Amino acid sequence: MQSCIQTAQRLVVKVGSSLVTNDGRGLDHAALQRWAEQMAALAGLGRQLVLVSSGAIAEGIARLGWPKRPSAVHELQAAAAVGQMGLVEAYERAFAQHGLKTAQILLTHEDLADRTRYLNARSTLLTLLELGVIPIINENDTVATAEIKVGDNDTLGALVTNLIDADALIILTDQRGLYTADPRKQPDAQFVDEYEAGRPELEAMAGGAGSGVGTGGMYTKIIAAKRAARSGASTVIASGREAQVLTRLAAGEAIGTQLTAGQSRIAARKQWLADHLQVRGTVVLDAGAARAVQAQGTSLLPIGVVAVEGEFLRGEMVRCTGPDGREVARGLINYDAADARRIVRLPSSQIEATLGFVDEPELIHRDNLVVVSAA
């Protein structure tokens, strides 16, 4: 088996608390430096990288001098607020040693559920990647309104993978990978080298949380791999204790458990767009734009739109119809209905002069557009 990471150009790397802290007693700065060194090596190969890192709450607990992880939500929020300062500062120093800039991104699941905030987060992250910056992402635990759930950062890693159309997700943990049963309870459990993500039997294999420091268990990692596969990304679950694990994976070495996506990245994302979002409005295309979208898979520019029907917000799903009223495509629109009406039939160069701002030059980018009927 060859690692899927070898050919992946855009990667999300998630590291758990046990890999970045000294058993919950503050950050392990030497470990953070090792992660930065390995990611810098991959960046040097032209890979685009996003880091989803746990550790803020554990660092906050250590800084506050608490003997154990609290259970009260407000205390966890306070620990996250205190610990996030040290976590980001330490990563910034570690990456700077390799000439790399970093950016802090704090997200909640609501940020990724709301379509406008989803597009804003996506645009920000893709811009940072194009600039060669390493985004460091964490759950915004300081404003969590519900109890902090098991495996939030595993899930967050998968959601970010979907968000930026990453090729693969690497989940680093303190375990070798997935076994057919919990090896701590069943010594005859078999190691799983490779499997298809999303298969129901995987969930039966996964155990519970294995560390008092982190909150995630193998089950949350299996569910994260299932989520990532929805946008065509494969997942590797591997031990962060392995020497140079990231660079070895990038070189093609098979380490840990590889959970492969059942379909290509592009096909999976298009399926997600077609099936999982409610249509909020309609844009009517001229004949030339309809042909270009159908036959060439191009982005939809304002100049190719003749009318806007209905009311919708930026980031919502709209239907694209041809002059005959037949639906040719649907996608996530970059402007709300009022602004879209003001820029129809205009070249993209005139968007800013008309609206006073420009979010994107396209009305709908081709990555967020799925063709529903052939030309």
Tokens of 258: 């590889």
Q: Tell which CATH architecture fits domain 4-269.
A: 3-Layer(aba) Sandwich (3.40)
Task: Identify the DSSP state of 20.
Answer: T
pLDDT at 181: 82
**242 pLDDT more than 90:** yes
139 burial type by CB count under 10 A (0-12 exposed, 13-18 middle, 19+ buried): buried
**Domain regions of the chain by residue span:** 4-269, 277-371
- Distance CA(49)–CA(12), nearest Å, equals 6
- DSSP conformation letters of 73-134: HHHHHHHHHHHHHHHHHHHHHHHHTTT--EEEEEE-HHHHHSHHHHHHHHHHHHHHHHTT-E
pLDDT at 116: 72
Tokens of 100: 């790399």
Which residue type is seen at 212? G
**150 pLDDT more than 50:** no
Q: Of 179, 232, 231, 236, which is closest to residue 210 (Cα–Cα)?
A: 179
What is the C-alpha end-to-end distance of the chain, expressed in Å? 40
Q: How do beta strands 279-285 and 305-309 pair?
A: antiparallel
Which residue has better confidence, 359 or 148? 359
**215 pLDDT more than 50:** no
- Distance CA(297)–CA(294), nearest Å, equals 6
Percent of the chain with pLDDT over 70: 87
Q: Of 138, 77, 82, which is closest to residue 107 (Cα–Cα)?
A: 138
pLDDT at 345: 97
pLDDT at 8: 94
Phi, psi torsion values for 72, nearest 5 degrees: -70, 135
- DSSP conformation letters of 21-75: BSTTSSB-HHHHHHHHHHHHHHHHTT-EEEEEE--HHHHHHHHHT-SS---SHHH
Q: Give the fold, CATH level 3, of 277-371.
A: 2.30.130
pLDDT at 184: 77
Task: Enter the pTM of the model.
Answer: 0.75
Q: What is the pLDDT of residues 200-212, one digit of tens each?
A: 888 878 754 444 4
The 3-class secondary structure across 171-193, one letter per residue, is EEECCCCCECCCCCCCCCCCECC
Q: What is the pLDDT of residues 252-303, one digit of tens each?
A: 999 999 999 876 666 666 766 665 567 899 999 999 999 999 999 899 999 9
> How confident is residue 108, by pLDDT bands cut at 50, 70 and 90?
confident
Report the run of H or E that residue 272 belongs to, with start and end. helix 265-276
Q: What is the pLDDT of residues 20-57, one digit of tens each?
A: 988 777 899 999 999 999 999 999 999 999 999 988 88
**156 pLDDT more than 70:** yes
pLDDT at 149: 42
Q: Of 343, 332, 307, 312, which is closest to residue 322 (Cα–Cα)?
A: 307
Domains 4-269 and 277-371 share a fold: no
| Widest distance between CA atoms in the chain | 69
Lowest mean pLDDT among 1-15, 132-146, 315-329: 132-146
> How confident is residue 86, by pLDDT bands cut at 50, 70 and 90?
very high
pLDDT at 349: 95
> How confident is residue 118, by pLDDT bands cut at 50, 70 and 90?
confident
Query: b/e string for 253-292 if b means 16 or more Cβ within 10 A?
Result: bbbbbbbbbeeebeebbbeebeeebeebbbbbbbeebbbb
| 48 to 10, 12, 206, 245: CA distances (angstroms) | 5, 9, 30, 17
Q: 């030309």: which residue's tokens?
A: 375
| Average pLDDT over the chain, rounded to an integer | 87
**221 pLDDT more than 50:** yes
